[in-house]
Amino acid sequence: MLDHIHLLLNFKQKYVTVNVVKIPNDASARTWFVAHPETKQLLWGGRLWLPSYYTETLCDVSKKASPITFKIRERKGERRDAQAKRPTKISQ
């Protein structure tokens, strides 16, 4: 079971990292609780995400070699493999 996600975000240096991280966290939590309001009671403090996060800054050269970039690409490959194994619908 996954207990975390990896995101590779590209944004201008004028934005503060913590504010950029809040956007997907807040949006996904809001969407989740609208769809599943009963789960808010089950979570500590009614929060979907912990307030902690890890950031790594990358320059254009290091994006290809970053461990996080590698992990994301590896996961995308796993998803593509799983999609390829899915049975396709046959139209009749």
CB 39 within 8 A of CB 32: yes
CA separation for the pair 67, 70 (Å, rounded): 5
Of 28, 45, 24, residue with least CA distance to 36? 28
Q: For tokens 């950029």, what's the residue?
A: 20
CA separation for the pair 68, 49 (Å, rounded): 20
Return the pLDDT at 42. 86
Of 1, 50, 14, 8, residue with least CA distance to 29? 50
Q: What are phi and psi of 30, to 5 degrees?
A: -60, -45
Model pTM above 0.75: no
Encode pLDDT of 33-76 as tens digits: 999 999 888 887 788 888 888 887 776 655 566 777 777 778 77
